[in-house]
Chain A
Amino acid sequence: MPSIDPAAYSSESIFQLELERIFSERLFIGTTADFPEVNSYKSLRLAKNAFTVRRTDVGFKSFNNVCLHRSALIDPLGSGQRPFRCGYHGWAYDNDGSLRVAPLTDEKCISRRVLSEYGIGQAGDLLFVGLNGSKPQLDKVEAALNQIGVPQAPPPPFHTDTLMQECNWKLLVENNIEGYHLSFVHPQSFIPAGFNTSSRYEWDSDEYTCWSACIPNENTSKLKYLQKLSAAATHDFRHAYVFPNLFLTTTNQFVGFRSYMIPLSAQRTILKWELFELPALLKLAPAVREEMKKEAIRFTATSLAEDKPLVESCQVGLSSIEPNLQLQPAEPRISRFHQYYSGRMQNV
């Protein structure tokens, strides 16, 4: 089966092209819950892009975050709530990115007065940036979320975490969109939860989204226990991927997981993840809810830790003198991903 050129997993020049052709079109950056008030911000770096997303009194906005004076970051990296004002010499900006106040300056010495503005798009509570300046295309997102049972406006997360991965972002995508590895890699997470390599794996895709359901076989099914807790429970692990950097999963219709990648270089990627309660979990008795949330944190942290050495070892292998990539029929979503990726890389 055709696949991406192994060089694309370690080449910095291909990574630069990916930033221009893929990540500048649609980049998930967080949910509305990350911006509780006006002046809440999230300041990020994507390779050489330093940008900030802000909640303003006229909605969500995204700007280049490099001060027009002498290039300090206007919003410090990370998130919080502050006026849109540079901390170095106090140059302050309006909610359209124009310079509002520049203390003790001479107008004649200011030729640039407006920050570049980027596109912002919202699907449910999910926020995306279009660093190419256009509004990101999001028309397929809602349908993908519906496929896995994520509500339009889930409650704020009960756990958030960050994981640094020494690998190319595409290796994380590929690891996420196949169930082939479950029996080999996940003895402390998926296997005891009933999911393994021979579980049923159903999948489908749309233009830039794909989704799957991993459903245990009769012999590992725990459906009767789960349905004792709630009639709304299922025994399945559902996964959705929104190209290029967002993953969402639902487990047994109790726990939702949302995770996104910010690539730092061709061989280094930050993975941010959070867990939230699905409607069926919200309805359980408080003691059961608490324990299920604790178990979900343990399960997720464990499964990510189980995957990490494997994706990082693929990075080493793909960067070696004799890399291999032979996709199997058991990895149909990866083939689909490679197809879409290749298309995006060609269409400038």
Chain B
Amino acid sequence: MTIENFVEKFAFAIEVETVSLTADTEFKALPNWDSLNALSVIAMADADYGVALSGEDVHSSTTINDVWKIVSARKQ
């Protein structure tokens, strides 16, 4: 359960190359970011971490690390 791992899963969820993302990526500024991407991230948190994210959690986060903080806190 590392941030690197999470970034990888995040990239897979929204169908971009892993190398194009880091923990500091401001994901909502990505060129094709949309509400469907937010759903994909919520689905990934559920399937891979057993964590229920809300749309609000995703919308209020700026970087991938912000989302990771919520996921890792809820995982414990």
Q: A residues engaging B (CB < 8 A)?
A: 192, 222, 224-226, 228-229, 284-288, 290-292, 294-295
**Knowing A192-B34, A294-B55, A295-B55 touch, does A288 contact B15 (C-beta < 8 A)?**
no
**Knowing A192-B34, A225-B15, A295-B55 touch, does A287 contact B40 (C-beta < 8 A)?**
no
Pick from A192, A224, A285, A287: contact of B54, CB under 8 Å: A287
Say which size band chain B's interface belongs to.
10 to 19
The 6 A-B pairs with the shortest beta carbon distances in the complex, nearest first, are A287-B52, A285-B46, A291-B55, A288-B43, A225-B36, A295-B35
A323 to chain B, nearest CB (A): 39
Residue of B nearest to A192 (CB): B34
B51 to chain A, nearest CB (A): 8
Besides the contacts A286-B52, A287-B45, what 17 more A-B pairs have beta carbons closer than 8 Å?
Answer: A192-B34, A225-B14, A228-B13, A228-B40, A228-B43, A229-B40, A229-B43, A285-B42, A285-B46, A285-B47, A287-B53, A287-B54, A290-B55, A291-B42, A292-B39, A295-B39, A295-B55
Residue among B13, B36, B40, B47 with the most chain A CB within 10 A? B36
Contacts of A226 in B (CB 8 A): 36
Q: How far is the CA of A285 from the CA of B13 in the complex (A)?
A: 15
Residue of A nearest to B13 (CB): A228
Q: Is the pair A222, B36 in contact by a Cβ cutoff of 8 Å?
A: yes
Contacts of A288 in B (CB 8 A): 39, 42-43, 46
Residue of A nearest to B52 (CB): A287
Docked complex: B1-46 residues within 8 A CB-CB of A? 13-15, 34-40, 42-43, 45-46
Q: How far is the CA of A184 from the CA of B23 in the complex (A)?
A: 38
Q: B residues engaging A (CB < 8 A)?
A: 13-15, 34-40, 42-43, 45-47, 52-55
Contacts of B15 in A (CB 8 A): 224-225
Contacts of B40 in A (CB 8 A): 225, 228-229
Q: How far is the CA of A284 from the CA of B53 in the complex (A)?
A: 14
Q: How far is the CA of A134 from the CA of B39 in the complex (A)?
A: 48
A232 to chain B, nearest CB (A): 14
Q: How far is the CA of A226 from the CA of B34 in the complex (A)?
A: 12
Q: Is the pair B52, A291 in contact by a Cβ cutoff of 8 Å?
A: no
Pick from B13, B38, B43: contact of A284, CB under 8 Å: B43
Contacts of B52 in A (CB 8 A): 285-287
Q: How far is the CA of A295 from the CA of B37 in the complex (A)?
A: 12
Contacts of B55 in A (CB 8 A): 290-291, 294-295
Residue of B nearest to A228 (CB): B40
Residue among B13, B35, B39 with the most chain A CB within 10 A? B39
Contacts of B38 in A (CB 8 A): 291
A249 to chain B, nearest CB (A): 18
Contacts of A228 in B (CB 8 A): 13, 40, 43
Contacts of B54 in A (CB 8 A): 287, 290-291
